[in-house]
Chains A and B, each alone.
Chain A
Amino acid sequence: MYETKYHKASSVDEAVSLMGAADDGKLLSGGQTLLPTMKAHLAAPSDLVDVSGIADMNGVGVRGNVISIGAATTHAEVAGNAALQNACAAVTDLAANIGDPAVRHMGTIGGSIANNDPAADYPAALLALGATIKTNARDIAAEDFFVGLFETALEDDEVIVSIGFEAPEKACYAKFPNPASRYAMAGVFVAKTAGGARVAVTGAGDDGVYRQSDMEAALDGNWSAGALTGVSVSADGMLSDMHGDATYRANLVKVMAGRAVAGC
């Protein structure tokens, strides 16, 4: 790892000002992606601003069906939150299946979505739930937040503070994990919301997470796994790599979507 200067921020404002003062700063939360990336010399920030200890960015709030998750809340804390499990078990189940137990003790929801890995789990949940990403400067709809591969709408020194969403009537996430990395080769989050059915796909699209509108239309009239049998998923726009080609992934999307709806 190249040299870097570590700073521990005690508030969101302090994190923003430390980032502003840094030559090429990066926010550090759990570090489960950033530190391995730095070790591989694929990133070399001049400064690291640690936001993991900021009180305003930690914890899960559930008030009725209104849910708020601090950006520095770990996957283990999300997975183990009883109130959230009652309100939306799809999200706690998703968090419980990210990486491995040690990674879940460190990795955070804010870090996951800021990185926007095309095979990460949380982006599918946030897109399907119509979540709002609250930063130090503004509220960003998930629809606008996830821009492309490892790309988000965040400005350089912008800090994600929390993620908010309303508990849906029903939701479930099904993923086919890569057997080695446990990242999704296809992961589908389905949600039956007040505004209709929403289906978001991660791990499969060549431009990152996306909504599967054909499946949403099919589920709007008939919320059942059977409603998806007539939907065809094209291999166009699917990732194709050593783990699986585009046709394979297109099929996985359909299978995972069916499992997700059946699991609700």
Chain B
Amino acid sequence: MTVVSMTVNGKAARADVPDNTLLVEYIREHLRLTGTHVGCDTSQCGACVVHVNGKAVKSCAALAVASEGADVTTIEGLANGEMHPMQTAFKENHGLQCGFCTPGMVMTATDMVARYRESGKTLDEAAIRSELEGNICRCTGYHNIVKAIADGASKMASS
């Protein structure tokens, strides 16, 4: 057991957890933030993507104890009173059907928009599709997800 402290969605979180606790287990089962999903549990599907110190990571392939001192944002921390522009874009573009992959899709989307903005690169359709390599959706065929991300990127730029 190890005492681990981190900031999750702006709030301090501290717990004594077994060393083999995955970050996603800590988020879901200790903090009860169940918006972060476990899809494949083999780091293929991306339903568990959260931001750790501002970077998208698969929380099923990270240890809670290794995230000591980290600043973690989950899907619950994205909205600030009202929906995040990327969440609005997913809603307006019908970027989801069952919704299971959506938390990971949205966290991946906001990460890619931030990185492309920072590096000055253009986030066109091909780039969005390539960036979604690590996120799997079994419902939509991705088309509306790609449209939602493009729309969300422009909403984020103007918000």
Spell out A's residues near B (CB within 8 Å). 1-6, 8, 28, 31-32, 35-36, 38-40, 48, 50, 52, 76, 80, 99-103, 105-106, 180, 182
Within 8 Å by CB of A103, from B42, B58, B65, B68, lies B58
Once the chains bind, are B55 and A105 in contact (CB under 8 Å)?
yes
List the A side residues contacting B61 at CB < 8 Å.
31-32, 35-36, 103, 106
**CA distance in complex: A40, B46 (Å):** 18
List the A side residues contacting B18 at CB < 8 Å.
3
Shortest A97–chain B CB gap in Å is 9
Could you write out 9 A-B pairs with CB less than 8 Å apart?
A2-B20, A3-B20, A6-B66, A35-B61, A38-B20, A50-B66, A76-B55, A103-B61, A182-B133
The yes or no answer to B119 lying at the interface (CB within 8 A) is yes
- Contact A101 to B43, CB < 8 A, known contacts A3-B20, A31-B61, A32-B61: no
Shortest A98–chain B CB gap in Å is 10
Spell out B's residues near A (CB within 8 Å). 2, 18-20, 22, 41-44, 46, 49, 55-58, 61-63, 65-66, 68, 108, 111-112, 115, 119, 131, 133-135
**CA distance in complex: A8, B61 (Å):** 17
Within 8 Å by CB of A6, from B42, B44, B46, B63, lies B63
**CA distance in complex: A102, B36 (Å):** 15
List the B side residues contacting A3 at CB < 8 Å.
18-20
Once the chains bind, are A101 and B19 in contact (CB under 8 Å)?
no
